[in-house]
Structure 1
């Protein structure tokens, strides 16, 4: 049993006292950053062995230096949902790579929509350099007040809508306009839209014309607004319960399983996974793509199992995550940071074609 006792973590000061040297000398032995006589270094190491001292507390050392090396990444859903979304994974990959290059680790913090305060409780116990909210999130998030009060730099990708959060922003209205204008240019006049969830706890169901007045998820609201500006308020819209192929297929059936005279000839979707679901629904209803119905997505993720090349908005997830990581690095270096626009572009694939005759 060491002198420090089973329940006590020995300190560098205790090691120095036992070795008969100053604390600064003992620190130099462990850091290797200064000249120490071999006999003195040996005494310090023998004292450390006797006290079962394994080295300076890394957290305390980091706090003295004004950093802890950890960046919280708040995922506003159960983590399993993010891990099923290829776009979310790409964003996290890019963010992790950029933070790793800065010598910082990424700590994922789940924030289920039904219990947002749990994330605040978890973050309150953590020492952090910064926090990132990298995915489609809610308009108002309680973690912002908590972290801003601690002067923790905050970076997001468009939400929460709070001036204390610096964003890498996609112009959601303009981006959805790329696919909407594309199908209009192909002669389509009967357009429909599949939106991501507009509020927590959504079910897959039609959205009333003109509604909702305000959505909890700004990204989905912006894309819906952009679609309606071009397609009109009366164009049918279905809200998907979640960001999955299954929800997209259910939404697609609601739109396409109707008499041919009322069936849309083009479906503009807010995500590639939703578009993949609409393609499944079309196949199940024996509709040809793009001869009978054109379908577009958003994000440009790799879907190798899809029989088509999706016409979509290319929003490279890795690059977007890296851009957020770069903002974190600059903020922690004391540089001024401000919102940055994230460019997107249209990719025309095999899922869109001229409007069918008649």
Structure 2
């Protein structure tokens, strides 16, 4: 049969019912032949598969099969920042690689959900409210009253929070970053430094930039920033200055470096809450004609390989990035199995590089 316009009618796409009819079995029996579950004779299964081959039927729709099981096969990953910033940060990329690489063999896919690009945008992406997902992952902690976490809890979506505050009923995967920041600060103290400044990650979703006063310090909303700053003060250090940045990017570290190191009363050491921020401070010091570490010491956090910073090698607190992503994936696996995952905290280690040295004479 041909259409008036001359072309053939589109071929009817075969269905499971067509296969069942061709194999002379019920639709439920045909379904069992594809699923491999339940009692079905080998000869009957082969007859169904032969009919499917003859009809060019590739198998049941995987989405439909997942939905019948009450599963989407999707893990929603709420990145917490604009993707264009997140993918410039090797920390985000390596953690996501560890997460996705572990979820794949479990038959799970990932839906990346961005955070707002600026404070004027809504704090929660509509996908958080509506997208099909079996489990959600909130990257980079946030707070216990995070709008995205509230929305997910309202939906009843099991959620893993990365580097958030430990709380009853919230599955959390973290690192021992407070102790790591204390290790880096004690290293500077052992070198004789007393005038130590801090460059921080964002305080909240307003993502301000610049030196902060006591009032601003008391208003830190993001758990990671608060915890890492506490690691510095745990050593007894009162920073001579604290510079807040809007994101963990080299240019923000560089701006902080110019701000902290341009005056005569500059600090002799700067401890930073990420390696990208620390590398920016090193670049600023170079442009200001300061020698690192002879004139100023700089320490970071993350353990990134930054060959473009040569000949300098950052002194840094090393965190296991890919392993952290894998730990998040295993927490997802536990939630899908109906289990309550234990709190997972990964250790960190201080690695001494070339950017820290004795206090200038």
Q: What is the TM-score normalised by the length of structure 1?
A: 0.87
Are the equivalent residues in 2 in contact too, given 1:29–1:36 (CA < 8 A)? Answer: no
Please give the per-residue CA displacement for 1:31-77, whole angstroms capped at 9, x wherever unaligned.
Answer: 4664344995389538956xxx6532212211333433221111011
Following the alignment from structure 1 to structure 2, what is the Cα–Cα distance between the partners of residues 87 and 39? Answer: 50
Partner of residue 21 from structure 1, selected from 17, 25, 29: 25
User: 5+ unaligned residues in a row in structure 2: which ranges?
Assistant: 2-8
Q: Distance in 1 between matches of 2:48 and 2:232?
A: 70
1:183 aligns with 2:188: yes
Structure 1 counterpart of 2:318 = 314
Superposition pairs of residues 1-358 of structure 1, within 5 angstroms: 12-13=16-17, 16=20, 21-31=25-35, 34=40, 35-37=42-44, 41=48, 44-45=51-52, 54-112=58-116, 114=119, 115-116=121-122, 118-119=124-125, 121-159=126-164, 163-209=168-214, 211-230=216-235, 232-233=237-238, 235-259=240-264, 262-307=265-310, 308-357=312-361
Q: Distance in 2 between matches of 1:65 and 1:201?
A: 41
SS in 2 for 1:179: helix
Question: Structure 1 pair 48/133, CA: closer, same or farther in 2 (3 Å)?
Answer: same
Please give the alpha-carbon distance, in whole angstroms, between the structure 1 residues aligned to 2:75 and 2:160: 11
Closer, same or farther in 2 for the Cα pair 1:234/1:125, shift >3 Å?
Answer: closer
C-alpha contact (below 8 Å) 2:23/2:48 kept by paired residues: no
Q: Distance in 2 between matches of 1:60 and 1:80?
A: 33
Root-mean-square deviation over aligned CA pairs: 2.9
CA offset digits 1:174-197 (Å, max 9, x no partner): 221111111011101111111111
Give the count of matched residue pairs. Answer: 348
CA distance in 1, matches of 2:339, 2:46: 45
Give distance in 2, aligned partners of 1:241 and 1:127: 31
- Structure 1 pair 184/210, CA: closer, same or farther in 2 (3 Å)? farther
Displacement of 1:280 in angstroms is: 0.6
Q: Contact 1:199/1:217 (CA < 8 Å) preserved in 2?
A: yes
Distance in 1 (alpha carbons) for counterparts of 2:108 and 2:34: 22
Do the aligned residues in 2 keep the contact of 1:197 with 1:239 (CA within 8 Å)? Answer: yes
Query: Would the alpha carbon gap of residues 293 and 43 (structure 1) be closer, same or farther in structure 2, given more than 3 Å must change?
Result: closer
Per the TM alignment, residue 257 of structure 1 is displaced from its structure 2 partner at its CA by: 0.2
Q: Describe the shift of the 1:76–1:151 C-alpha distance in structure 2 as closer, same or farther (beyond 3 A).
A: same
Cα distance in 1 for residues equivalent to 2:45 and 2:150? 52
The 3-state SS of whatever aligns with 1:156 is strand
- SS state of the match for residue 230, structure 1? coil
Contact kept in structure 2, 1:327 and 1:337, CA below 8 Å:
yes
Distance in 1, matches of 2:207 and 2:182, equals: 24
Per-residue Cα deviation, 1:204-228 (whole angstroms, up to 9, x for no partner)? 2101146422312110111122223
> CA 1:179 to 1:21, structure 2 compared with 1: closer, same or farther past 3 Å?
same
1:139 CA displacement = 4.8
Question: Does the CA-based 8 Å contact 1:134-1:157 persist in structure 2?
Answer: yes
**Following the alignment from structure 2 to structure 1, what is the Cα–Cα distance between the partners of residues 278 and 236?**
18
Q: Deviations over 1:118-139 (max 9, x none)?
A: 42x2134433221112335355
Conserved? CA contact 1:195–1:239, under 8 Å: yes
The answer to whether the 8 A contact 1:191-1:236 is kept is yes
1:88–1:135 Cα contact (<8 Å) kept: no
Provide the C-alpha distance between the structure 2 equivalents of 1:327 and 1:122, rounded to a whole number of angstroms. Answer: 22
SS where residue 128 of structure 1 aligns? Answer: coil
